[in-house]
Chains A and B, each alone.
Chain A
Amino acid sequence: DSGVTQTPKHLITATGQRVTLRCSPRSGDLSVYWYQQSLDQGLQFLIQYYNGEERAKGNILERFSAQQFPDLHSELNLSSLELGDSALYFCASSVGSGNQPQHFGDGTRLSIL
């Protein structure tokens, strides 16, 4: 158990809809990262928050947005969903210092029908 909690575990919805994925980081971790993993693809970095502020952005679509709240949990919002958005979405957290590893949650499997 990594200590990172993601909900829900599975989400099935239709094209055009909007969903929110939630992540609670490990106790004491200030950084939260979001990754997308499509079938047989590597992990694609989407966005990072550190102590409530956006720190880095990857290849995140404009239809996607995220935020980190004062209690450090984070939400990833995906809107106008397309079939190609079907993927595993992972959240990871770390203390924030350079050599500390990121610890991953179990992911949310999003299926768009």
Chain B
Amino acid sequence: GQNIDQPTEMTATEGAIVQINCTYQTSGFNGLFWYQQHAGEAPTFLSYNVLDGLEEKGRFSSFLSRSKGYSYLLLKELQMKDSASYLCAVKLEDSSYKLIFGSGTRLLVRP
């Protein structure tokens, strides 16, 4: 089966840095995506990793270790608008491009 684990909730302070972890055990791996989803809205794409290492995109960075089945999303200089759910999703190594999503981490940014 496919298993993707993320913490359910996290709280951080405006201006701080927060790291959201994701571990996965899947039958095959062909890339990992991070999405942001505000309540009741569509998920929006944040980052993609397929090779080990860090990808940086402005205030957001994502890291992948394939050997450990582990990724994290790092959010710097937190803003109130960053309060949202963050979804980790794995693309399996098959002929489709479907994504298997974790349950998401709900991040609350406090003033």
Interface residues of A (CB under 8 A from B): 2, 4, 31, 33, 35, 41-45, 48, 50, 55-56, 58, 88, 90, 94, 96-99, 101-107, 109
A31 to chain B, nearest CB (A): 6
Residues of A within 8 A of B30 (CB): 98
Bound-complex Cα distance A4 to B97 (A): 17
- Give A105 to B43 CA distance when docked, in angstroms: 8
Contact call A43/B87, Cβ cutoff below 8 A: yes
Q: Is the CB of A55 within 8 A of B96?
A: yes
Which 8 residue pairs are nearest across A and B when measured between Cβ atoms? A56-B96, A42-B103, A101-B45, A104-B42, A43-B101, A55-B96, A42-B101, A56-B98
Q: How far is the CA of A4 from the CA of B45 in the complex (A)?
A: 13
Q: Which residue of B lies closest to A88 (CB)?
A: B40
Distance to closest chain A CB from B43 (angstroms): 5
Do residues B44 and A104 form an inter-chain contact, with CB atoms below 8 A? yes
Within 8 A of A (CB), among B32-66: 33, 35, 40-45, 48, 50
Q: Is the CB of B98 within 8 A of A58?
A: yes
> In this assembly, does B99 line the interface, its C-beta being within 8 Å of a C-beta of chain A?
yes
Determine the distance from Cα of A94 to Cα of B31 in the docked complex, in whole angstroms: 15
Q: Is B67 an interface residue (CB 8 A)?
A: no
Q: Is the interface of B mostly helix, strand, loop or mixed?
A: loop
Bound CA–CA A105/B37 (angstroms): 12
With A56-B94, A98-B91, A99-B31 as contacts: A45 and B100 at CB distance below 8 Å: yes
A101 to B32, alpha carbons, bound, how many Å? 10
Chain A residues positioned under 8 Å from B94 (CB to CB): 56
**B102 surroundings in chain A (CB, below 8 A):** 42
Instruction: From known contacts A33-B98, A45-B100, infer whether A101 and B41 are also in contact, taking CB-CB under 8 Å.
Output: no
Other-chain residue from B42, B43, B97 in contact with A31 (beta carbon distance below 8 A): B97
Which residues of chain B are within 8 angstroms of A31 by Cβ–Cβ distance?
97
Q: A98-B31, A99-B48 are in contact. Are A90 and B101 (CB under 8 A)?
A: no
Q: Is the CB of A98 within 8 A of B97?
A: yes
Return B105 CB to nearest CB of chain A, in Å: 11
State the CA gap A31–B102 with chains docked (Å): 22
